[in-house]
Structures are given as structure tokens and as C-alpha cells.
Amino acid sequence: MNDDALLRTSRLLLVTTLLVASLTSCSSGAPESTPSTSGAPTATEKPKGCDDGNAGLTLPAGFCASVFADNLGRARHLVAASSGTVYVNTWSNMYTQMKNAPGGYVVALRDLDGDGHAEMVQRFGSVHEDGKAGGGTGIALQGDALYVEDNGKIVRYALMAGSAVPTGQPETIVSALPAEGDHPMHPFAVAPDGSLFVNSGSATNSCQQKNRTLQSPGQKPCRELATHAGIWRYDGNKTGQTFSPRERYATGLRNTVALAVQPRDGALYVAVHGRDQLTDNWPKLYTEAQQTELPAELFARVGEGADFGWTYCYFDAMQGKQVLAPEYGGDGGKSEGDCVKTNRPDVAFPAHWAPDALTFYTGTTFPAKYHGGAFIAFHGSWNRKPRQAGYLVAFVPFTDGKPGTTYEEFATGFAGAELPAEPPAAAHRPTGLALGPDGALYVSDDAKGRVWRISYVGDR
């Protein structure tokens, strides 16, 4: 090495030594409140992905929430892919209600920086030129396919690796789904074997000769049971199927908006809207207080051929039994008649909570008590007085793959500081549930189009 090179090397070593000494000195004299460089939050830091005040929600200790997305339109069901993309099905009666969100009724959301908020918001799916509805409630993932309810049919989009939004046109799996009457939506669940379980809600409240009318008797037999108030099963791998009475899987389920397949054994579970207006239509048989508490909303495992009694029966949780409906000779809940032959629920929830979504917790980041259990979102109904109820997410624990008989309120506060006197006054209404690949729980709202992300951060 020549003298010039030796001199340059010596100077470089000197500068490096001084720089290291300076950094070491600064580090040793730093105050204890200096933010950690390990990525873990300090005692004064808010955990990443958590909004102030848990975005308005009340949650168990150790949990936090963020507003993942907002103002999406009427956000119904949602599902999360292994990539982290969350897909939301939205629904509207008129396109004018969605004029600020053109591009389709399905929304793809992704958090690009891990802060609990979706920076990517992309739309796709139908936009009807006549201004009528597109989208709907149901949405599910199976393999590399996204299934979506769209205006009276269920379609399937192929998802390509590396792209959150499908580029091709959807294939129609089932068409001509019944859309008349009180409950036109068709939520569904897809089983691992490809079975597609589809809800066809009742067209009426209780199959009266004149729907929702004072003391109108029930139709006997109830003709709409051939195509409504049950679960239908189709082949999710087959295109071009058409709805018909032949594919009915189970009956007597007035309106099953919440349904999911249990991952452990492939069994179908549902949470069902009970009937309305016992006192309104039969004031001589039921008091106002009874209408508030009757009938129960049902949570149950559903096997092929099951019959849960609608419209001839309803479940009285206070008596713990199915009883005869007043439209069919019931006497205010005393008589059971043939209702003793119908299926019973596993769990009975309070009346008029309106269960709208169901998902099983298969993640690992929540505490062990939640593993394998079921979360249910309650939308809130209208047939309780003087104030409404629901507007929450509940949890049903499972042991060895079987549900218990109790539940707990997991997330509340969606409706606002107080429960509303009428549903339109609610700030938000829980409608959909989805489990993210990181174990977080997503909740949608169809009042303001919000999506929350609920995560567990532990004791702090």
C-alpha cells in the first residue's frame, strides 16, 4: 500500500471511530420515554391498528377497534381473503343512492400499511343502467373464486393471483331466486365440498291470508313454504342452475340471513329472524310486554330435512318450547299441537334482535375461549317497544365442536350512546362478519356503510 492510500485509510478509520462514539454517547444519555425501535408500542403509545375510543365500540378488555373503511353504501355481508383483501357486497334499491360510488356494488378493501385502515378501495360488479338494484347480501370465497349475490342470482368471479379485483365477467351459478315479498335477500354459505346453501326468506310475516293484518287467519297449508322460508342446496361448482322447490334442504326457517358452515365438521349453522306482530295482530292473546319478548331468535345446527316450524309454530324461550302460532289456532302460547315434532334451537336469543351474520372463529390471536366459537351480528329490528334492542355482536362458545346454551355480548355501541326508539335513528347497524387471515374480526354496517376491524392487543 502506498503512502497516499495508507493516509486515506487512517483518516477513514478515525472518522468511523468518532461517529460510533458519538452515537453511543447519544444513546446512553437518551431519556426513558424515547420510542422503542423494536416495533412494540410503549406504555404511552396507542397500539397500531387501534382508533381512539375503539371507534365508538365497547369491547372486552384487551381488544381494540379501528374504522377500516367508511361510506361504502349499504354494506351487507363481507369476506376476507388470505391475501388480506376484504370483499364487501353492498345493496341499494336505486342507483341514485350510490351516485357518489360508481363502479359496481362489490367493494375490495386492503390495508396497505398495517395501520388498521383500508387505503385501497376498488369497486366492481354490476351497475344497472335502468337504475335498479345491483348487489345484495351474500358473499363468500371458495378456493380462487368469489361468490356474490347479485340482484336475484348468485354469480362467481375468478380471482387471479396478484390482483384484488377480478378482470373477467362473472359466471351465473344459480338464477331466478325468489324476490317477491317481505324478505328478498339471499344470503348463502359455501361448504368445503362445494355445497352452496342459500336462504329463501319468507314472503310474509306469518303466512296470513292478508299479510300483517289484524286477526287474519293463516293459510292452511302455507303455500309459500314450497319456495320460501327455508334453505336450498346447490352445487357451487356448477353453472347455469335455476331455483326450484326440488332443491330445498330444510324448511320452517322464516328468514335466515346469518348462516355459516362450521370448519370443524362441515355442519351448517344458522341464526334466524323470528316472526313479528303477535300483539299487533292478536291483541286479545298477547300483551305489549309479550310482543317485546316473543318469539326467540334461533341459533341452530341444520341438517337435511329439518323443520323448525314456521309458520305454524314459534319458539317461546321463556317456556323453552315450540308453541302453536295464533294464526293456526294457538291460544297465546299454551298449546303446542304438532309443534312438538319440529326441531329446537341450540341457543335462543331475545326477540327482534335480527341476526344478520354468523362466522366461526378459526384464528389464533384472540384468547383461547373464543377459539372454535361463533360470532353473530345483530342488526336490530323494529317490533320492540318502547326501545329497540340488538345492534351488537354476540359470541356463542363451542366445546368439542358443540355449542353451549348461553351467549355473551362481545361488541356493543354500534347504535350510539343509547338504543334508538326506531331503527332509522341508529348510528350504525351490524350486518356482516368476516375473519381476517391475521385473526382480526371485521364487522360491516348497512346504515352508513362502515366496516370495523376488531383485533386483540392484550393487557396494557
User: Per-residue pLDDT tens for 35-92?
Assistant: 333 333 444 567 888 999 999 999 999 999 999 999 999 999 999 999 999 999 998 7
What pLDDT score does 235 carry?
A: 98
Distance CA 174, CA 191 (A): 16
Q: Which CATH number fits the domain 68-306+349-456, given the four candidates 2.120.10.30, 1.10.8.100, 2.40.30.10, 3.60.40.10? A: 2.120.10.30
Tens of pLDDT, residues 227-241: 999 999 999 999 999
E strand or H helix that includes residue 396: strand 392-396
What pLDDT score does 132 carry?
A: 57
DSSP 174-195: EE-----SS-----EEE-TT-E
Q: How many CA atoms lie within 13 A of 119 on its CB side?
A: 6
Please determine, for residue 256, whether its predicted confidence score (pLDDT) is greater than 80. yes
For the chain, the average pLDDT equals: 88
CA 421 vs CA 297, 387, 416: distances in Å: 20, 5, 12
Please determine, for residue 400, whether its predicted confidence score (pLDDT) is greater than 50. yes
Residue 104: pLDDT band with limits 50, 70, 90: confident
What pLDDT score does 39 carry?
A: 39
- Burial zone of 420 (CB within 10 Å; 0-12 exposed, 13-18 middle, 19+ buried): middle
Tens of pLDDT, residues 123-168: 998 876 555 557 899 999 999 999 999 989 999 999 998 899 998 9
Mean pLDDT, residues 13-34 taken together: 34
Please determine, for residue 295, whether its predicted confidence score (pLDDT) is greater than 70. yes
| 15: number of Cβ within 10 Å | 10
| 324: number of Cβ within 10 Å | 22
Tens of pLDDT, residues 350-363: 999 999 999 999 99
Do 90 and 136 meet the contact criterion of CB atoms below 8 Å apart?
A: no
SS3 content of the chain, % helix, strand, coil (to 5): 15, 30, 55
E strand or H helix that includes residue 288: helix 288-293
Please determine, for residue 395, whether its predicted confidence score (pLDDT) is greater than 80. yes
CA 117 vs CA 51, 56, 212, 393: distances in Å: 10, 15, 43, 21
Mean pLDDT, residues 7-29 taken together: 36
Write b or e for each residue in 191-211: b if 16 or more Cβ atoms lie within 10 A of its Cβ, otherwise e.
beeebbbbbbbbbbbbbbeee
Angle CA 148–272–212, to nearest 5: 105
What pLDDT score does 283 carry?
A: 97
DSSP 201-259: --SSSS-BSSTT-TTPPBPSS-GGGGTSSEEEEEETT--SEE--GGGEEEE--SEEEEE
Residue 19: pLDDT band with limits 50, 70, 90: very low
Q: What's the longest Cα–Cα distance across the chain? A: 112
Tens of pLDDT, residues 302-332: 999 999 999 999 999 999 999 999 999 999 9
Tens of pLDDT, residues 167-205: 899 999 999 999 999 999 999 999 999 999 999 999 999
Pairing label, strands 171-175, 241-242: parallel
- Residue 192 is which amino acid? P
Specify the length of the chain in residues.
Answer: 460
Mean pLDDT, residues 434-448 taken together: 97
- What ranges make up the beta strands (E) of 276-373? 297-302, 313-316, 321-324, 347-349, 355-360
What pLDDT score does 130 carry?
A: 55
| Cell of residue 239, nine digits | 353453472
What pLDDT score does 15 carry?
A: 34
22-36, 101-115, 132-146, 261-275: the lowest-pLDDT one: 22-36
